[in-house]
Homo-oligomer: A and B are copies of this chain.
Amino acid sequence: ALHWREVRRWIICFLIGVLTGLTAGIIDLGVEKVSGLKFESVKDLVDKCVTGNCMYYPLLVWLAFNMGLVLVGSILTAYVEPVAAGSGIPQIKCYLNGVIVPHVVRIKTLITKVVGVVCAVAGGLAVGKEGPMIHSGAVIAAGVSQGRSTSLKLDFSIFKDFRSDREKRDFVSAGAAAGVAAAFGAPVGGVLFSLEEGASFWNQALVWRIFFSSMVSTMTLNIVQSYIKNHPWELSYAGLINFGTFGNVNYQFMELFLVIVMGAIGGLLGALFNHINFKLTIFRMRFIQRRWQRVIEVIMVAAYTAAFAYILIFFSQDCLPLVENREPMLMQYFCKDGEFSSSARLFFDTPEATVKNLFHSNPGTYRPLTLFIFAAGYFFLACWTYGLSVPSGLFIPSLLVGAAWGRIVGIVLSMASENSGWVNLSFYSLVGASAMLGGIVRMTISLTVIIMEATSNVPLGLPVMISLIVAKWVGDQFNEGIYDIHIHVQGVPMLGWEPLPLSANLSAKSVMSHPVSVFRTVETVERIIRVLKEEKHNGFPVVMDYDPDSSTPQENVEVETFGTFRGLILRSQLIMMLKKKLFVENPNLQKILKDLKMENFNDLYPRYLPIQRVSISPEEANFTVNLEAFMNQSQHVVLESASYSSIFSKFRSLGLRHVVVINFQNQVVGIVTRKDLARYTVESHNGQISIVEKMIIL
């Protein structure tokens, strides 16, 4: 039985990989087809109008395309599933951290995400499709591992025994990793992403399965792409983002100092980006609450994006001779005959192709001023776009902005130095791109590895890593990474990596919830129902020697106690016991107990019956339930004197949700939940650092 369970886990991971790879392929194909259609129409008109002096007309057609597509995406997001907005990474991060954001792994979310991101990218917004792919992988994983969809009312009744928070979370890690693997062709980066963003304890078997999902997902996408490109089964397309070959990109040791400077610039710009986006998010939460308002905002941004692109193309006049019209993406626009507009390429290609183009195109393709306007404009567009009611990834816009200013750095260096042979524009745009991305998202090892895999170049890893270290360090002086900002704005009780620096003086006693509702080992049905209705907690201590009705407060004690601790019982267990009528007074008790299976407890996961829906007759209300057989006796406890940091590391390492606080006599004095720990934060005012309580909404 044990072996079979393990084999099924591998099967699930295989399915997650295949489906995530397929989904990524569908998104990619969708974007390509739709933008292809848009491009063809506009190009025909441009070609006609270059002579006919009607350039306003293709502009209008372009605007119409963009706004139409974006309208579909935003309506879908606003009205069908608002949680599908944005990249989904903050939500996945919360999920892996143990905090469940409602609707985040529903099938409706997946569909909205996939259709929405195709519309947003093809609609020309400053967004990428990578974040949404990661989110899609997570939803697929949650669905497959549970073997059913509650929304679709399907239950295949397989994988029943994986219906628990922990198992599901493990599979969601695999799904997120598979999403990264497909998006960037970075299976190892995917594994590290999952680990960095959420998993806590390094479990060899789990990591191995996550890696398997990532590999399968990469390969599936590979096969799909080999079919699309008419070389079936030739497995050589690594992923959706491929930064092109950096094979001959070398650098000198001294250039690493320039990398440090560029990392600092990335950190500063990233902090600015996050700050503006933070203010914007607060503004949106206050003033843009209605659905139609959100849709209108998206349309406005789409229109501005298109206008910005058109103006840049019009004024920049970066023209290059059209050697052979090999690439279909080259347009003449306002250039002379026999030339094409290189700045138009910045907007008309898919964003992925543009990144590659900025990395690899020959010196002289873009003038520094054009790049500067592009970088600055795209910076603010991307900042405005992230948080709109439409699925939108941040990676590609950040890379674009960074690659643009990195290229500027390279051009300036080669102009300033006498013997400019050492300046490699590819190198500088790559460093700029990673510094910018690092400054915004503040990810560490996973981001380095993702970029290493996307460039297929190990030696470039060091400069990339240095730029990321510096960018993170500089950025962290001002604010948090964009994902953490969005998580905290939502008031989600996330635990960080380390306990707070000043928490040495906080003890269990000062953070615990107190007073606490407890149950006696044999408890009346009536009281169980009352407490479950009154309290929101999911776990309750079971105690001896406690009288809930003694209304007189205990005298002469420092802290009120609630009986001697025996174990912990979960809300879901209590509800199941009531539903199955496991009353001591029930004559059929033995028979029911015999028929009871583990599955009965997991069957309803994760949408347990609310207590209000359990029907209990007035007679039954006076019955009692014996909790001893079901309570968890291995529950983790801490003494009231235990320090905040020791409790913190317990929660973090063991993935706990609650811990019972006892005194030296093993009497319950309180309970510490995740929220109690996440409630504190460090603030610094005028150089004074202090611990303050923050608001937790969710």
Interface residues of A (CB under 8 A from B): 2, 185-188, 191-192, 195-196, 199-205, 207-208, 211-212, 215-216, 218-219, 222-223, 233-236, 238, 250-253, 444-445, 448-449, 452-453, 456-459, 461-462, 465, 469, 497-498, 501, 544, 564-566, 633-634, 636-639, 641-643, 646, 649-650, 652-654, 662, 664-666
* Contact between B250 and A459, CB atoms less than 8 A apart: no
A447 to chain B, nearest CB (A): 11
* Contact between A202 and B204, CB atoms less than 8 A apart: no
CA distance A617 to B633 in the complex (A): 48
Q: A195-B202, A207-B444, A566-B664 are in contact. List 7 more A-B contacts (CB 8 A).
A: A207-B445, A208-B445, A223-B253, A235-B250, A453-B458, A564-B665, A650-B654
State how many copies of this chain the complex holds. Answer: 2
* Contact between B665 and A465, CB atoms less than 8 A apart: no
* Contact between B204 and A444, CB atoms less than 8 A apart: yes
Which residues does chain B contribute within 8 Å of A251, judged by CB atoms? Answer: 235
* Contact between B205 and A202, CB atoms less than 8 A apart: no
* Contact between B219 and A188, CB atoms less than 8 A apart: no
Which residues does chain B contribute within 8 Å of A192, judged by CB atoms? Answer: 188
CA distance A471 to B413 in the complex (A): 52
Contact among B236, B456, B642 for A634, CB-based, below 8 A: B642
CA distance A501 to B205 in the complex (A): 14
Which residues does chain B contribute within 8 Å of A253, judged by CB atoms? Answer: 223, 233, 235
Q: Report if A634-B652 is in contact (Cβ < 8 Å); known contacts: A204-B196, A205-B498, A212-B469.
A: no
Q: Report if A187-B458 is in contact (Cβ < 8 Å); known contacts: A252-B233, A654-B650, A664-B565.
A: yes
* Contact between A662 and B654, CB atoms less than 8 A apart: no
Q: Report if A215-B462 is in contact (Cβ < 8 Å); known contacts: A204-B444, A497-B203.
A: yes
Which residues does chain B contribute within 8 Å of A641, judged by CB atoms? Answer: 633-634
* Contact between B236 and A204, CB atoms less than 8 A apart: no
* Contact between A461 and B215, CB atoms less than 8 A apart: yes
* Contact between B637 and A639, CB atoms less than 8 A apart: yes
Interface centre among A192, A251, A452 (most CB of B within 10 A): A192
A600 to chain B, nearest CB (A): 19
Chain B minimum-CB-distance residue to A6: B473
Q: Classify the secondary structure of A's interface with B.
A: mixed
Chain B minimum-CB-distance residue to A232: B253
A593 to chain B, nearest CB (A): 19
* Contact between B653 and A201, CB atoms less than 8 A apart: yes
Which residues does chain B contribute within 8 Å of A204, judged by CB atoms? Answer: 196, 444, 497
22 contacts between A and B (CB under 8 A): A187-B461, A188-B192, A188-B452, A200-B653, A201-B649, A203-B498, A204-B497, A205-B497, A208-B469, A211-B445, A212-B465, A212-B469, A218-B461, A235-B252, A236-B250, A544-B664, A564-B665, A633-B641, A633-B642, A637-B637, A649-B654, A665-B665
Which residues does chain B contribute within 8 Å of A452, judged by CB atoms? Answer: 188
CA distance A461 to B202 in the complex (A): 22
Which residues does chain B contribute within 8 Å of A188, judged by CB atoms? Answer: 188, 192, 449, 452, 461
Interface centre among A202, A218, A469, A665 (most CB of B within 10 A): A202
Chain B minimum-CB-distance residue to A497: B204
A60 to chain B, nearest CB (A): 44
Which residues does chain B contribute within 8 Å of A195, judged by CB atoms? Answer: 202
Chain B minimum-CB-distance residue to A454: B458
* Contact between B465 and A215, CB atoms less than 8 A apart: yes
A101 to chain B, nearest CB (A): 22
CA distance A233 to B252 in the complex (A): 6
* Contact between B445 and A201, CB atoms less than 8 A apart: no
A65 to chain B, nearest CB (A): 35
